[in-house]
Amino acid sequence: MSAAADSPLAKLFPSPNHGERKDGLLPEMVILHYTGMPGAKAALKWLCTPESNVSCHYLVQESGKILQLVPESRRAWHAGAGSWRGRDDINSRSIGIEIVNLGHDGASVDPDDPRKSVPGAPTGGPLPPYPARQITALIGLLQDICGRTGISRRAILAHSDIAPRRKRDPGEAFPWGQLAAAGLGLWVEPVPIRSGHFYQRGDGGAPVLALQQMLAMLGFALAPTGCFDEETEGVVRAFQRHWRPGRVDGIADFSTITTLRDLLKIAA
Ligand SMILES: [Zn+2]
């Protein structure tokens, strides 16, 4: 690693876990993650241990301190299997940022008895919030990265966008609207949730096919089959996590479908 961090906002904390970007690919998107671990120390240990085979380019601590683990020119190992807009090998095409946050597993911690924590358990309570100074630091880092590399300010995605059935981070507590206010990410105000017609697991036909086509047009890897299957439900849930976080239930209601339609209008 060179002696200086790529970003003037970061301090070096080198990880050995990286390789060459495939076929000379350049980063064209930023993938946001949460660490899902208590504090930065445990996460840094994991991200810098050769045995873990995982890393990221940047880690943003709760205090707002930013560390660079892998040079931007190298392929960090943060995304795993995934796809967006028909493109795979996301690691070769992206810069990965880990944000220190307990995430969904943190929400399953019983505050009165942390031993009851069950990793991977469904969300049991409100997700741990991202502190303001951490988000301010992240916004600064994203502005810096996009300004230096030419990555589109719209191409800032969740890990759950590119791996919807495998990943939930950075989760529905992540303040995408705040990033959008700073000109970062693709965002429209979610359409308010109200009663009305909806589609869910087991449904089929032309409206489901249209929904799948819209989700695929946005970028999700989803085959338009016309059947609202488990996979479709997972993608709808991932969509909601990012773009309609008020309710993440995998049911395509009016608010979900209309928010998706509004997003596609500006995504073109
Ligand atoms: Zn992740």
pLDDT tens digit sequence for 161-172 = 999 999 999 999
pLDDT for residue 223: 96
pLDDT in tens, 106-154: 765 544 544 444 444 444 578 999 999 999 999 999 999 999 999 999 9
Report the separation in Å between the CA atom of 170 and the middle of ligand 1, taken as the mean of its atom positions.
Answer: 7
Q: What is the average pLDDT value for the chain, to the nearest integer? A: 93
Report the separation in Å between the CA atom of 166 and the middle of ligand 1, taken as the mean of its atom positions.
Answer: 9
- For every residue of 159-208, DSSP letters joined together read HHHHSTTT--TT-TTS-HHHHHHTT-S---PPPPP--S--B-TT-BSHHH
What three-state secondary structure class fits 92? helix
Considering the candidates 28, 72, 98, 233, report the single residue annotated as catalytic. 98
Nearest alpha carbon to residue 109 among 91, 129, 128: 128
pLDDT in tens, 22-78: 999 999 999 999 999 988 999 999 999 999 999 999 999 999 999 999 999 999 999
Look up the pTM and report it.
0.93
Report the separation in Å between the CA atom of 204 and the middle of ligand 1, taken as the mean of its atom positions.
Answer: 31
Query: Does the annotation mark 20 as catalytic?
Result: no
Report the separation in Å between the CA atom of 156 and the middle of ligand 1, taken as the mean of its atom positions.
Answer: 13
